[in-house]
Structures are given as structure tokens and as C-alpha cells.
């Protein structure tokens, strides 16, 4: 509400819409041939959907022997709730399918967009003799019903405030922290890698890595000098590691997943390690499979090893031996070749037993 020249102004909006619903129902009848001879006249399914508070409810009326055409079975879809007056109409469409035990369709019927009063269906749905043979050998009849109904007209009134409140700006935390990757101010520890220097922040490193936390907590040389020398991580990999530490984001996972995986394991960063593992396995192919198996073995990663062996025992096993990763594995980890052969043999035996 706002006031213009001492006049109160109210603004409202009403929206009218038709609410549509879909109902799926399955009625299974076992020992159909016996059942159909025992029952007399029309048989009714339970009301669906079940529940006392449902505003719309239906049921199926099935006659194994049609009252109008005795050589046929008949079926009708009936509206149970609400009960309509004689001149009231209800717009709905439905599909009826009769199936045998394995899902084979015996008969399928459609009724699109008709106006109902209480029910709709067919006196000559399917010949009785045809139906009796179709449900064999299990003697099971499955009736599936799908109903699409425009069930309710709804009008909602919305009061609108003439003065729209401002929305908060989106968070810039990740973007702001990303500036720390190349930042040269306010850092309290220097990371030396070859001739590269990274100014970093002890508190953040310690919060994200248990290895850095232990390093800074104890009276180690790195703590006293506020300088850490790293010799087994490439500068570009460590820079990406810092980016993840500061922002929880990565910009080069596609090109350095294996190296980042190794660094994540070294610095006890399980979430980064898991993210790298998932990427490596997602991109697994004949060129990288052997290299991935070696990586898993070196870091005692049984989950990644299991997936790599499964791939190596698959359809591309022959091509793997052409890769550079395979040649390196044969030279550095020859026992993994035996494990791959055993996995391949087990896979072939399992396929033969199917």
C-alpha cells in the first residue's frame, strides 16, 4: 500500500488456473479363468487413489461377460467422488491396457478429452475367448488405467506491494578469496617451489589441510622462519591447490587431475582427493587406465583400483597394452599386470556363466 495525495492505494492481482491431475492404477487378477467363471455380473476394483480425504476418486467396473454383448468382456472407468448432478460434466481423458503376466499387451483403448457424468467405457472391450487364451500360461490378467483430469479451477489473489524491496547482492566470497592466489599482501608464510614464491596464510592453510596444521603447530623450522620449501609439487599444481584451499574451486582439473590427486593425498585434503578421483574415473579410457591403476596402487586407493581393474578387464583391454601408461606399469609395477590378468579371467568366467 502507498499513499498519493492522501489517497490510500491498494494493488491486488487474481490468477485463475485449472489444476490438472494424473492417476495411474493397476489391477492384477490371478487365476483369471477360474475367477471369471465364479463371479457373477460386474466386478469393481478398489477405489483409487485410496484415502478418505481424496477430492477425486475412481474405480474400474469390469464384466468378464458383458451384460450387453455376452461374447465380450466389458470395462468402464467410473467417477466415485465427487458425485455429479445430472447436468454436470467432468472433462477427463484415459487409457486402458490389458496385459498378460510378462507385460504383453492384449488390448489397448484410449478415450481423449470426453465430458463425463459418472463413467465411460466399452461393452465390447475384448472377446472373452481371446482374453482367456491371452492370459495363459500363468492365468494372470493385469489391467492398467491412466487418467488425465482437469480436476479443479483455482483462483488465487495476490497482494502486491508497490515498493519492491531491494535484493541482497550475491556472495562474492569465492571471488574475493581467489585474489589471494596471486596476492602479495598481508600473508604470513612464504611457500618456495623452485624459483617460485607464493605468499600464503597460515590460518587458512591449517584449516584446510591437516598436514599444514601439524607443520605450523609444532616448533618446526618452517614455523620459526615462516618459510616452507616444497620440492615434490610443480608450481602450477601448487597454485591450483591454493586456489582450491581458498575458494573450494578448481580451474584446471581437466589438465592436472592426477597431479592434484597426488598433492591432495600428500596434504591430507580428502574432499579434493575425492573430487579428483571422481574426475579421473569419469574420464577413464584405454590411454589412461594403466596410469590410473598405478596411481591408485601408489596411494593405497582401493576404490579407484577396483574401478581401474574393472575397466582393464573390459572390452578395451587389448588397446590398453598400446598405451604409454601400460609400458611404464610393466616396468615399474609388473605385479599389477598379474592382477589385471586375474581380473580379466574372472570377468570372462562370469560372462560364460551367464
**Assigned C-alpha cell, 54:** 481424496
pLDDT, tens only, 84-130:
666 556 678 889 999 999 889 999 998 875 566 567 889 999 999 99
Q: Go through 221-236 and write b for each residue having 16 or more CB atoms within 10 A of its CB, e for each that does not.
A: ebeeeeebebeebebe
When comparing pLDDT for 158 and 217, which is higher? 217
- Asked whether the predicted pLDDT for residue 261 surpasses 50, the reply is yes
CATH of 15-156, one of 3.20.20.80, 2.60.210.10, 3.40.50.620, 3.10.580.10: 2.60.210.10
Considering the chain, what percentage of its residues have pLDDT values greater than 70? 86
Residues β-bridged to residue 156: 15
Residues 229-243, mean pLDDT to the nearest whole number: 94
- Asked whether the predicted pLDDT for residue 131 surpasses 70, the reply is yes
Query: Mean pLDDT of all residues in the chain?
Result: 86
pLDDT, tens only, 284-304:
999 999 999 999 999 999 999
15-156 against 172-283: fold identical? no
**Could you give the angle at which helices 324-332 and 335-353 cross, rounded to 10 degrees?**
120
Residues 38-42, mean pLDDT to the nearest whole number: 87
Locate the domains of the chain by residue range: 15-156, 172-283, 284-354
154 SS3 class:
strand
Write the CB contacts of 266 (distance below 8 Å, at least 6 apart in sequence).
211, 232, 233
pLDDT, tens only, 142-177:
999 998 887 656 677 766 655 667 888 999 988 888
pLDDT band, residue 321 (cuts 50/70/90)? confident
* pLDDT for 250: 92
Residues 195-224, mean pLDDT to the nearest whole number: 86
* pLDDT for 74: 95
Residue 102 CA to residue 30 CA, distance in Å, equals: 13
pLDDT band, residue 21 (cuts 50/70/90)? confident
When comparing pLDDT for 308 and 183, which is higher? 308
* pLDDT for 2: 42
* pLDDT for 302: 94
- Asked whether the predicted pLDDT for residue 66 surpasses 60, the reply is yes
Helix (H) or strand (E) holding 192: strand 189-193
**Architecture of domain 284-354 in CATH?**
Alpha Horseshoe (1.25)
Q: What is the pTM of this model?
A: 0.53
CATH of 172-283, one of 3.30.710.10, 3.40.50.410, 3.60.10.10, 3.40.630.10: 3.30.710.10
Amino acid at each position: 500500500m502507498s499513499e498519493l495525495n492522501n489517497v490510500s492505494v491498494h494493488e491486488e492481482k487474481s490468477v485463475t488456473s485449472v489444476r490438472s491431475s494424473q492417476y495411474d492404477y493397476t489391477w492384477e487378477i490371478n487365476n483369471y479363468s477360474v475367477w471369471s467363471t465364479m463371479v457373477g455380473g460386474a466386478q469393481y476394483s478398489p477405489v483409487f487413489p485410496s484415502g478418505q480425504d481424496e477430492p477425486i476418486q475412481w474405480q474400474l467396473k469390469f464384466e468378464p461377460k458383458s451384460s450387453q454383448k455376452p461374447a465380450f468382456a466389458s470395462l468402464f472407468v467410473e467417477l466415485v467422488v465427487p458425485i455429479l448432478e445430472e447436468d454436470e460434466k467432468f472433462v477427463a481423458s484415459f487409457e486402458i491396457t490389458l496385459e498378460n503376466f510378462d507385460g504383453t499387451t492384449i488390448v489397448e483403448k484410449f478415450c481423449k478429452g470426453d465430458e463425463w457424468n459418472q463413467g465411460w467405457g466399452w461393452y465390447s472391450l475384448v472377446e472373452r475367448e481371446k482374453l482367456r487364451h491371452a492370459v495363459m500360461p500363468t492365468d494372470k490378467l493385469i489391467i492398467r488405467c491412466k487418467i488425465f483430469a482437469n480436476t479443479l479451477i483455482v483462483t488465487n489473489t495476490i497482494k502486491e506491494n508497490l515498493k519492491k524491496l531491494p535484493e541482497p547482492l550475491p556472495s562474492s566470497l569465492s571471488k574475493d578469496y581467489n585474489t589471494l592466489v596471486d596476492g602479495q599482501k598481508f600473508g604470513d608464510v612464504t611457500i618456495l617451489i623452485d624459483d617460485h614464491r607464493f605468499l600464503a596464510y597460515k590460518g587458512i592453510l591449517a584449516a584446510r589441510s591437516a598436514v599444514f596444521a601439524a607443520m605450523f603447530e609444532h616448533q618446526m623450522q618452517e614455523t620459526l622462519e615462516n618459510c616452507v620449501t616444497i620440492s615434490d609439487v610443480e608450481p602450477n599444481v601448487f597454485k591450483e591447490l591454493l586456489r582450491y584451499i581458498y575458494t573450494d574451486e578448481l580451474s584446471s582439473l581437466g589438465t592436472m587431475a592426477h597431479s592434484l590427486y597426488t598433492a591432495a593425498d600428500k596434504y591430507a585434503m580428502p574432499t579434493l582427493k575425492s573430487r579428483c578421483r571422481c574426475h579421473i574415473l569419469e574420464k577413464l579410457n584405454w590411454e589412461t587406465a594403466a596410469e590410473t591403476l598405478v596411481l591408485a596402487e601408489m596411494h593405497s586407493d582401493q576404490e579407484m583400483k577396483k574401478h581401474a581393474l574393472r575397466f582393464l578387464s573390459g572390452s578395451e583391454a587389448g588397446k590398453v597394452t598400446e598405451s604409454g601408461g601400460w609400458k611404464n606399469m610393466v616396468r615399474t609395477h609388473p605385479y599389477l599386470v598379474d592382477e589385471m590378468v586375474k581380473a580379466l579371467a574372472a570377468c570372462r568366467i562370469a560372462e560364460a556363466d551367464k
